[in-house]
Amino acid sequence: AAMEILEGTLGLIKKIESAEAKLSAEEQLAGTLDEFPDNHRVQKFITTVKEHVQAFTHQSNPMLSLISNIEGSEGRVRVLCNLAGTLAQAGDIQQATSLLAEAQKIVDSIEDKSELSPSLSYLAVAQIKLGKPDEAKVTLATALSTVDKIEGIEAKVGSFGKLITALNELDDQEQIRTVIAQSLDLAGEIQQKAQVVLQQSLTLVSKMKDGEEKATALQKIAFAMSQPGNPKRSEEIFVQALTIATQIADAEKKALALEKIASTFAQTGPGENFTQLQFSIGWMYFEGQNLPKDHARAVSWFRKAAELG
């Protein structure tokens, strides 16, 4: 019965002719119902009322009508802030301030952290263009604290991109240092996840038959692990790749695979085990053991080992 009364009240409000009175009545209704935060049905009704208020506000303002068809709060904030910044630079401070205030209202209603952080970044840029650097600093500080609460690497990376754009406008040294520190933490998090994926990939490679494809796959995984990552583990995998490459039946393919793996690893900062293996390959070429006797290639491998070790 209570919900029927509320629906009836909203219907009566819609019949009010005065636009200003209608908007005021809807806002008062939503404010009154905010006193019932634990009632799911009431909260759902409040959302409907607020949507009515927002839609009516947009209809009554030609500038706001531009965002009425834009999906997502972040998209609406972006458009409003871009317009506000453009108008401010053109000298229309009054209209720019009005749009900024509307953007702020939308930002205040955003609960999704992955939408809130970039929206705050847009808001900060607009505040800077309106000559409000102190407000922009506070907004960016809030955006920075919000990034840590975002779930998902991709969403975090996207939010950092928006933050960096805003910081380029503000040029605040303290916040730049904070963003750099958070960026490094994020990079470390991404790197750790990448290492886990690469380790899992190794289990699949182990099921491949020894040969050129397996050696190449190991080479690529080891290279990825070292960019940057786990140099010791990548060396072990490179050694494994070289060992498998020596077992390739075709002499030319074997030689090419060995050269490719060695040249790739040379870029990653080789270790003692790898250098020793290079010397061993040179010796196998020199003696013709498991590799065709080739003194020129033997000398080449001895030289590689000497240069690295």
Task: Note the pLDDT tens digit of each residue in 101-135.
Answer: 989 988 998 888 889 989 999 999 999 899 998 89
- In angstroms, how far apart are the furthest CA atoms of the chain? 100
Instruction: Judge whether 125 lies within some domain.
Output: no
Instruction: Judge whether 72 lies within some domain.
Output: no
Instruction: Judge whether 144 lies within some domain.
Output: no
Measured between its terminal Cα atoms, the distance across the chain in Å is 85
Give the contacts of 193 (CB within 8 A, at least 6 positions apart): 153
Length of the chain: 309
Return the exposure string of 133-156: e unless at least 16 CB atoms fall within 10 Å of the residue's CB, then b: eebbbebbbebbebbeebeeeebb
Instruction: Judge whether 57 lies within some domain.
Output: no
Residue 267, strand partner residues: none
Quote the domain boundaries for residue 283.
208-308
Six token digits for residue 4: 């029927």
Taking Cα atoms as reference points, which of 279, 280, 283 lies closest to residue 307? 279
As for how many domains the chain has, the answer is 1
In tens, the pLDDT along 166-201 reads 777 777 677 777 777 777 777 777 777 777 777 778
Instruction: Judge whether 119 lies within some domain.
Output: no
Q: Are 55 and 22 in contact, with CB atoms under 8 Å apart?
A: no
Element (H, E) at 87: helix 73-90
Instruction: Judge whether 268 lies within some domain.
Output: yes
Token match 């940057």: residue?
Answer: 228
Q: Are 124 and 146 in contact, with CB atoms under 8 Å apart?
A: no
In tens, the pLDDT along 196-253 reads 777 778 777 777 787 778 878 877 877 777 665 566 677 777 777 777 777 777 777 8
Q: Would you call 209 helix, strand, or coil by DSSP? A: coil
Sign of CA dihedral 11, 16, 17, 19: negative
Q: What does pTM read for this prediction?
A: 0.53
Instruction: Judge whether 120 lies within some domain.
Output: no
Instruction: Judge whether 258 lies within some domain.
Output: yes
